[in-house]
């Protein structure tokens, strides 16, 4: 049966939770702040994971696995790192019925343990670069959890690389940022602005942090992925040193980069509507559902269902991957069967009833627009393939147009405050900033939590700082964020 969803205009937070529940993506776990990812949600994650994993391997990276438990002393070897993560750490002090000599931290991220291992693996410039990615879970204790967006435990990938030169490491940082931007655009239909994070938003211990920032349908920002240039900070802390080509010893240059199951939250808040989930075809586990319809049970089982299976096979062959299924929920009314798949975000529904059977055709219904068209069975598979491409492109353009229409140029601080006030439009404020970290904090305090989301890479213009009035400030994006 269809599940009620609160309209997003009434209560965006409740709408978000309702969409997750109706689509059976995840549930709250018995441990506060943790989640159970259900098969529908994990199917989406598997497709996201596969897209990124393919891109990582195409750029020369390999997968490995590192321990869940990290000696607490490791976290203390990079001062900024431990300071940044200390409020979120979960610590194990007892194991096997005995007090541990040294507590273990459940990994919030793996820079420290991977740095320790790299120090053992690297002796010469010939051992570099090291290009490793890890798919795993991490724990960052969350005080205000929200499914997919902020949970104490979540799934992610973390890439960690070590290089012989600063230039190589910087090139790696930008390469992976662009991989993120491209996959988010092409597979998730998420338009993102990629750029450098401000000093106050930088990853603890990094020289520079870069991110992909997306606008959700409530006009808040979501940090969808980050790529960090760590310089030699972690290499010094963990003694990742090597003999260079001239025979001298020096420290390696390292990077780290990651995306997580937070991307499923981004999909929901960007594309879903008041009926439920809307999935871009490229990350939809079921892209097409075929629904046989008849009041005659004998005809349903003997004619319609076998033909529906044939249609499913043709569609899978045309698309090139298994992507369709036949709905056999004959105990439900037709409307309930339609809505069941609609709430789960299936991009295309193929209705195949008595009339369609006799006329050798089917009715295709798009999830994103609800538009319908009748197509002959001979042309159906090809048309489905075309529509999946169209839906993917249309969803990206819709999200991009939404972001553009809710981005405003701001020239002074009063305008900025008004833009983000309760009566203001909100969204992305594009302006200039050249102040200090304290100035950033002052803006955040004065605007109810507005922060610099990034300094866009593709916009190198300069102007007068929105807060200090000084010339030569960089263009930035301000927004309220998740």
Alpha carbons 411 and 478: distance in angstroms, whole number:
12
In a domain, 11, yes or no: no
Cis peptide, bond prior to residue 315, ω within 30 of zero? no
pLDDT at residue 423 above 90? yes
Per-residue pLDDT tens digits for 434-459: 999 999 999 999 999 999 999 999 99
Percentage with pLDDT > 90 across the chain: 95
Residues 176 and 229 in one domain: yes
Q: Among 371, 403, 435, identify where a domain stops.
A: 403
User: Measured between alpha carbons, how far is residue 183 from residues 200, 223, 256, 475 in Å?
Assistant: 27, 15, 18, 25
Answer whether 452's CB lies under 8 Å from 440's CB: yes
In a domain, 12, yes or no: no
Alpha carbons 371 and 245: distance in angstroms, whole number:
64
**Residues pairing with 351 in the sheet:** 291, 363
How many folded domains does the chain comprise? 3
Using CB atoms within 10 A of its CB, is residue 254 exposed (0-12), middle (13-18) or buried (19+)? buried
Alpha carbons 326 and 206: distance in angstroms, whole number:
50
Q: What is the mean pLDDT of residues 349-362?
A: 96
Q: Can you give the pLDDT at residue 76? A: 82
Residues 137 and 188 in one domain: yes
Compute φ and ψ for 420, nearest 5 degrees.
-100, 10
Answer whether 446's CB lies under 8 Å from 420's CB: no
- Write down the pTM of the prediction: 0.95
Q: Can you give the pLDDT at residue 44? A: 98
3 state SS for 315-343: HHHHHCCCCEEECCCCCCCHHHHHHHHHH
Q: What is the mean pLDDT of residues 292-297?
A: 95
E strand spans, 152-237:
153-163, 192-196, 208-215, 221-231
CA 51, 53, 57, 60 torsion-angle sign: positive
Alpha carbons 392 and 389: distance in angstroms, whole number:
5
Residues 228 and 102 in one domain: yes
Residues 236 and 354 in one domain: no
Backbone φ/ψ region at 184: left (φ over 0), alpha (ψ -120 to 50), beta: alpha
Q: What is the mean pLDDT of residues 335-354?
A: 97
Answer whether 48's CB lies under 8 Å from 169's CB: no
Residues 251 and 298 in one domain: no
Per-residue pLDDT tens digits for 359-387: 999 999 999 999 999 999 999 999 999 99
Answer whether 361's CB lies under 8 Å from 374's CB: yes
Answer whether 366's CB lies under 8 Å from 347's CB: yes
Compute φ and ψ for 168, nearest 5 degrees.
-65, -45
Q: Which residue has the higher pLDDT, 281 or 82?
A: 281
By C-alpha distance, which of 385, 449, 391 is closest to 420?
449
Q: What is the mean pLDDT of residues 263-282?
A: 98
**Residues pairing with 259 in the sheet:** 157
Alpha carbons 298 and 178: distance in angstroms, whole number:
55
Q: Among 373, 388, 403, identify where a domain stops.
A: 403
pLDDT at residue 82 above 80? no
Q: Can you give the pLDDT at residue 77? A: 80
Specify the CATH number for the domain of residue 287: 3.40.50.800
In a domain, 328, yes or no: yes
By C-alpha distance, which of 367, 403, 398, 396 is closest to 384?
367
Residues 188 and 215 in one domain: yes
What value does the CA radius of gyration of the chain take, rounded to a whole number of Å?
A: 25
Name the helix (H) or strand (E) containing 48. helix 39-58
Residues 387 and 411 in one domain: no
Scored b (16 or more CB within 10 A) or e, 74-108 reads: bbebbeebbebbeeebeeeeeeeeeeeeebbbbbb
In a domain, 1, yes or no: no
Alpha carbons 40 and 23: distance in angstroms, whole number:
7
Residues 66 and 170 in one domain: yes
Residues 463 and 363 in one domain: no
pLDDT at residue 86 above 80? no
In a domain, 4, yes or no: no
In a domain, 83, yes or no: yes
Specify the CATH number for the domain of residue 112: 3.30.930.10
- What confidence category does residue 294 fall into, taking pLDDT thresholds of 50, 70 and 90? very high
Per-residue pLDDT tens digits for 1-10: 678 999 999 9
Q: How many residues does the chain have?
A: 482
Q: Can you give the pLDDT at residue 2? A: 72
pLDDT at residue 88 above 90? no
In a domain, 242, yes or no: yes
User: Measured between alpha carbons, how far is residue 478 from residues 129, 383, 415, 441, 468 in Å?
Assistant: 36, 42, 12, 13, 15
pLDDT at residue 13 above 80? yes
Residues 76 and 188 in one domain: yes
DSSP state of 200: G
Alpha carbons 131 and 145: distance in angstroms, whole number:
33
Q: What is the mean pLDDT of residues 152-168?
A: 98
Per-residue pLDDT tens digits for 103-150: 999 999 999 999 999 999 999 999 999 999 999 999 999 989 999 999
| Mean pLDDT across the chain | 96
In a domain, 317, yes or no: yes
Residues 285 and 267 in one domain: no
Chain centroid to Cα 305, Å, comes to 37
Domain that holds residue 88: 24-271
In 3-state terms, the chain is what percent helix, strand and coil (to 5)? 40, 30, 30
Residues 397 and 421 in one domain: no
Alpha carbons 109 and 184: distance in angstroms, whole number:
22
pLDDT at residue 321 above 80? yes
For residue 183 the two structure tokens come to 């996959």
Q: Can you give the pLDDT at residue 80? A: 65
Q: Can you give the pLDDT at residue 465? A: 98
CA 277, 278, 282, 287 torsion-angle sign: positive
Q: Can you give the pLDDT at residue 84? A: 64
Specify the CATH number for the domain of residue 445: 3.30.110.30
Q: Among 271, 305, 330, identify where a domain stops.
A: 271
For residue 164 the two structure tokens come to 């012989």
Q: Can you give the pLDDT at residue 1? A: 61
Alpha carbons 49 and 423: distance in angstroms, whole number:
40
């Amino acid at each position: 049966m269809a599940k009620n969803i609160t309209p997003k205009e009434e209560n965006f937070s409740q709408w978000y939770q309702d969409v997750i529940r109706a689509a059976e993506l995840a549930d709250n776990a018995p441990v506060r702040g943790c989640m159970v990812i259900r098969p529908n949600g994990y199917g989406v994650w598997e497709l996201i994971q596969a897209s990124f994993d393919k891109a990582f391997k195409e750029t020369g990276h390999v997968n490995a696995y590192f321990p869940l438990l990290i000696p607490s002393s490791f976290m203390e070897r990079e001062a900024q790192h431990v300071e940044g993560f200390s409020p979120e750490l979960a610590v194990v002090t007892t194991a096997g019925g005995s007090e541990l000599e040294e507590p273990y931290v459940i990994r919030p991220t793996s820079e420290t343990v991977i740095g320790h291992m790299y120090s053992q693996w690297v002796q010469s410039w010939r051992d570099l670069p090291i290009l490793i990615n890890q798919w795993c879970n991490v724990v960052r204790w969350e005080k205000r959890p929200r499914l997919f967006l902020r949970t104490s435990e979540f799934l992610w990938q973390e890439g960690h690389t070590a290089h012989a030169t600063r230039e190589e490491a910087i090139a790696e940082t930008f390469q992976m940022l662009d991989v993120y931007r491209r996959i988010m655009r092409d597979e998730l239909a998420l338009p993102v602005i990629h750029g450098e994070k401000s000093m106050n938003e930088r990853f603890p211990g990094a020289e520079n942090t870069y991110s992909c920032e997306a606008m959700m349908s409530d006009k808040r920002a979501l940090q969808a992925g980050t790529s960090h240039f760590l310089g030699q900070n972690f290499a010094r802390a963990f003694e990742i040193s090597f003999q260079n080509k001239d025979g001298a010893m020096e420290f390696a240059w390292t990077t780290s980069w990651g995306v997580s199951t937070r991307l499923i939250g981004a999909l929901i808040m960007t594309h879903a509507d008041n009926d439920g989930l809307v999935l871009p075809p490229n990350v939809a586990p079921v892209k097409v559902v075929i629904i046989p319809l008849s009041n005659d049970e004998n005809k349903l089982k003997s004619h319609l269902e076998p033909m529906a299976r044939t249609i499913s096979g043709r569609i899978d062959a045309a698309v090139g991957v298994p992507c369709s299924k036949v709905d056999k929920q004959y105990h439900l009314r037709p409307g309930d069967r339609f809505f069941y798949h609609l709430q789960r975000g299936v991009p295309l529904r193929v209705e195949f009833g008595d009339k369609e059977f006799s006329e050798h055709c089917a009715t295709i219904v798009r999830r994103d627009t609800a538009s319908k068209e009748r197509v002959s069975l001979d042309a159906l598979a090809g048309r489905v393939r075309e529509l999946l491409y169209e839906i993917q492109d249309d969803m990206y353009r819709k999200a991009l147009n939404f972001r553009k229409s809710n981005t405003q140029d701001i020239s002074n601080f009063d305008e900025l405050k008004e833009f983000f006030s309760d009566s203001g439009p909100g969204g992305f404020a594009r302006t200039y900033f050249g102040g200090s970290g304290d100035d950033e904090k002052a803006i955040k305090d004065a605007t109810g939590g507005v922060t610099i989301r990034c300094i866009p890479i593709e916009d190198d213009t300069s102007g007068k700082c929105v807060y200090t009035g000084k010339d030569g400030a960089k263009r930035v994006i301000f927004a309220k964020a998740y």
